Amino acid sequence: MKIYIKNMVCSRCKLVVKSELEKLGLNVLSVELGEAEIIDSLDDSQKELVVKQLEEFGFEVIDDKKSRLIEQVKTVIIELVHHSQESIKTNLSDFISEKLSLDYNYVSNLFSEVEGVTVEKYYILQRVEKVKELLVYDELNLSEIAYQLNYSSVAYLSNQFKKVTGFTPTYFKQLKEKKRKQIEDL
C-alpha cells in the first residue's frame, strides 16, 4: 500500500517518515520523496494514527488524486533542482510529462489552478532558492553556479534572480543573512 505524503523535500524527511512508520509497527518497503510504501493495508484507525504521527513533523497525508499529482510535480522539480547533478536534455514540460506519464497541459493547468502559480514559475523559484543556497555556502562563483544549475549564462541567472528576489546575486551574497525560504514554503 502506498501512502502519499506532502512536504517531504529531503533525505532527512525520508528518514523521519520511515522511522515514524516503523514506530507505529508498520512494515515499510520503501520511502521516497512524497510517498511511502508499506506491506499491509491500513484500517481507518491505523490511517488516523499515521496521519497524526506524521503531522507532528509537518507532513501531511494526501488522499485525493489531484493533490497527489501536484505533489508528484513538486517532487520531480525538487529532485531535479536540489538532488540531481544531471541536467535535463529536453524542455521542462517534456521532462515532467515523461516522468509522470501524463499530458503536460493537464498537469500544468491543474498545478496552476491548485497552487496559484505555474509549473514554470515553481521551477524558477526552486532554482533561485538553490542559487541562494550556493551563494550562502560561498564555495562556487557565479559562473560555476550558472553552469551547475544549467543556466545559459551568468547574465540570465542574474536577471532571473533579481526578478524573483529584488536583489542581484552579488548584493544578496554581501548581505550574508539567511534570506532563504524552506523548500516546502515555496
Eight-class DSSP state of 153: -
Provide CB contacts within 8 A for 40, sequence distance 6+.
1, 26, 27
pLDDT in tens, 13-64: 999 999 999 999 999 999 998 899 999 888 889 999 999 999 999 999 988 8
**What pLDDT digit, counting tens, does each position of 129-140 carry?**
999 999 988 889
Q: Please, what is the Cα angle at 16 between 10 and 19, to 5 degrees?
A: 145
Per-residue pLDDT band for 95 (boundaries 50, 70, 90) equals very high
Q: How far apart are CA 5 and CA 148, in angstroms?
A: 29
Say if CB 54 and CB 69 are below 8 A apart. Answer: no
| CA distances (Å), origin 7, targets 59, 85, 140, 178, 181 | 5, 22, 28, 21, 14
